[in-house]
Amino acid sequence: MRRFFIAALLLLLAGCGGGSGSSVSTGTSGQNKAAISVDGTFGVVNRAYTNVTICAPGTNNCQTIDHVLIDTGSVGLRLLSTPAIAALNLASQNTSAGNQLGECYFYVSSYVWGSARLADVKMGGETASNIAVHIVADPAMPAAPNYCSSTGGAAQSTSAAMNANGIMGIGVTPADCGSGCSLNPANNRYYTCGATSCTSTAVPLAQQVGNPVAQFAQDNNGVIMQLPSISSAGAVNATGQLIFGIGTQADNALGSAQVYATNLNGDITTVYNGTSYPDSFIDSGTNRYSFNDSSLPLCAGTVDYCPASPTALSAVNVGGNGINGTVNFNVANVNSLFGAGNFAQNDRAGPISALGAASFLSTSFDWGLPFFYGRSLFVAFNGRSTPGGAGPYYAY
């Protein structure tokens, strides 16, 4: 999923919890890795999930939340409120005046509203201690502020709406809003809340909902997302691994991967059909390639491309460091993919305009989850040292 950016004086202005009862247990887990599963639990193709354990800080009072969407296009851990999470009695992240902190986080065509609360977050053998997490649809909070509900699109307040039990944003920045929210009280992202209403407020970086991996005690300079190659017909499911750190352990070396520097939004340039798209991004939370190409027909009644036969295409990605490389990919007729019952598909695509009306989409190419199959995709966090230089960057 792509967070929504508002260009102003803001450095970075961005834009689902527990218990479907079926844990993500396949793939490989270890000290610095967590299992990934692409499956049909929510009936949607190309959704990459993992398990996340949250605990009341400093205790063994914990809950493991299954089917949390892994999202390289956003930042922050956001879990739907459930009785299991409520039972943890997580402390509020309070403002300097002692009021509950709320957040409205915007994606391109939707939003989530809820409380910021403190938790220990555990994945594999790693722990982020006492960090702010976003508890979405928290019943202890007032209703979403008008700016949030009137401008954010559809509310993602249920697992059915999110097609997940939560979203774990592991994009290129450690904080989900940055100086745009620490310096500007009228940011309409963070709110100080009383019993019945909330008012926009400035929030220091240290109190913002952040990238959980960036807050691990070690292996915190980036992530590697690995998914296997699949056939053009797709697969019923796919399993892989999320590896924490870049160049910090024997299993996370950068190797020969090409480094593509990004800006703080996680943008690179993609050149497709002779046109440059400078706001392009690599987004595991989008379930298809998303780009505009009027030569590709749409399937009737859908927002997916439907070429008569599988179509081979190519584009060139260009990093902010000048590194460039060609990406070859295929687009298939989505009608032929639907009937196979395969929830992992590497050739699904559609127009990026279908994602929403945000102006930056007209200059974007979205490399969604199909791009990840058969690759090790590195995401280096802003300002963190790695063997490929300081982030932010993608590498593959």
Q: Digits of tens for pLDDT over the chain (396 positions)?
A: 755 543 322 323 333 333 334 444 345 556 999 999 999 999 999 999 999 999 999 999 999 999 999 999 999 999 999 999 999 999 999 998 899 999 999 999 899 999 999 999 999 999 999 999 999 999 999 999 999 999 888 999 999 999 999 999 999 999 999 999 999 999 999 999 999 999 999 999 999 999 999 999 999 999 999 999 999 999 999 999 999 999 999 999 999 999 999 999 999 999 999 999 999 999 999 999 999 999 999 999 889 999 999 999 999 999 999 999 999 999 999 888 877 789 999 999 999 999 886 788 999 999 999 999 999 999 999 999 999 999 999 999
Which H or E run includes 192?
strand 190-193
Q: Where are the alpha helices (DSSP H) in 18-163?
A: 83-86, 146-151, 159-162
Query: Would you state the pLDDT for residue 301?
Result: 86
* Residue 161 zone, left/alpha/beta (φ > 0; ψ -120 to 50; rest): alpha
Identify whether the C-beta of residue 17 lies closer than 8 Å to the C-beta of residue 80.
yes
Neighbours of 151 (CB within 10 A): 12
Pick from 214, 265, 277: nearest CA to 3:
265
pTM: 0.92
pLDDT score for 152: 82
pLDDT of residue 29: 58
Phi, psi (deg, nearest 5) at residue 238: -145, 145
**To the nearest 10°, the Cα dihedral for 73, 257, 312, 350?**
0
